[in-house]
Amino acid sequence: MVTATTALETELLRLAGSVPDPELPVLTLQELGVVRGVRVRGTDAVDVELTPTYTGCPAIEAMSLDIERVLREHGMREVTVRTVLTPAWSTDDISDEGRRKLREFGIAPPRVRRDAGPVALALGPTRTRTHVGEPDATATDATDQSAPVRCPHCGSADTELLSRFSSTACKALRRCLACREPFDHFKEL
């Protein structure tokens, strides 16, 4: 989905993508997969397409301002950041490098989804503990439920859900039953 056609657009896309995410500064917007494209207008004006991780994401304004600042510092007089909702962002848009950085930062990256499309929502009893080899009751049908949420500290698959929401709405709070450390898990979307 990331688009750039000219050398200048490619460079501006790289610069916009290099902006750190305001909620997860260990990731760039490119690694998060939210910068969708740039289009140069004239000699010193650019339009940037930005997709939020979810509708109403409070970080979208900070992302936009940071992109505007970086591109103005690199000679663009007019920068317009436009929020685009289609196609919707998915955790599949996080790059491999982004997933590695999340793990190193102590956040379990989202599991890989088996297929694209809407995420099914299953309502039922809440179950929080996942044992090795047991499906995760908190995973969606579109997620590989056989893949446990692994502890980013010790790698154990024996983890439990403490809270469906953590420091941000896109993360859940879990605890490793092997090393006993709590950790965030970037939820699959």
Q: Does residue 101 share a domain with residue 79?
A: no
32-44 pLDDT tens trace: 999 999 999 988 9
Q: Does residue 115 share a domain with residue 60?
A: no
Positive or negative, the Cα torsion across 95, 100, 104, 108? positive
Q: Does residue 146 share a domain with residue 65?
A: no
138-173 pLDDT tens trace: 454 444 556 899 999 999 999 999 999 888 888 899
Q: How far apart are CA 10 and CA 135, in angstroms?
A: 42
Question: Do 187 and 161 touch, CB atoms closer than 8 A?
Answer: no
The enclosing domain of 66 has a CATH number of 3.30.300.130
Amino acid identity, position 175: R
Among candidate residues 27, 56, 83, the one where a domain is terminated: 83
Does residue 156 belong to any structural domain of this protein? Answer: yes
Does residue 2 belong to any structural domain of this protein? Answer: no
Among candidate residues 53, 83, 113, the one where a domain is terminated: 83
Q: Does residue 129 share a domain with residue 171?
A: yes
Q: Does residue 162 share a domain with residue 101?
A: yes
Does residue 141 belong to any structural domain of this protein? Answer: yes
E strands in the chain: 35-41, 45-50, 78-83, 107-108, 129-130, 159-163, 171-176, 182-186
Rounded mean pLDDT, 175-185: 96
Among candidate residues 55, 83, 111, the one where a domain is terminated: 83
Tell me which residue range forms the domain holding 186.
Answer: 93-189
Q: How far apart are CA 136 and CA 174, in angstroms?
A: 12
Looking at residue 143, its pLDDT comes to 47
DSSP 50: E
Looking at residue 125, its pLDDT comes to 53
- Could you tell me the CA-to-CA distances from 129 to 42, 80, 158, 161, 162 in Å, in that order? 56, 46, 8, 6, 9
**Its pTM surpasses 0.85:** no
Q: Does residue 97 share a domain with residue 79?
A: no
Q: Does residue 177 share a domain with residue 125?
A: yes
- Could you tell me the CA-to-CA distances from 177 to 59, 129, 156, 160, 187 in Å, in that order? 32, 10, 8, 7, 19
Does residue 88 belong to any structural domain of this protein? Answer: no
Phi, psi angles (nearest 5°) of residue 180: 70, 10
> Is the confidence at residue 135, as pLDDT, over 90?
no
Q: Does residue 163 share a domain with residue 72?
A: no
Q: Does residue 77 share a domain with residue 124?
A: no
> Is the confidence at residue 68, as pLDDT, over 90?
yes
Q: Does residue 116 share a domain with residue 187?
A: yes
Q: Does residue 16 share a domain with residue 98?
A: no
Q: Does residue 78 share a domain with residue 27?
A: yes
* Mean pLDDT rounded to a whole number for the chain: 86
Number of domains in the chain: 2
Does residue 47 belong to any structural domain of this protein? Answer: yes
Looking at residue 140, its pLDDT comes to 46
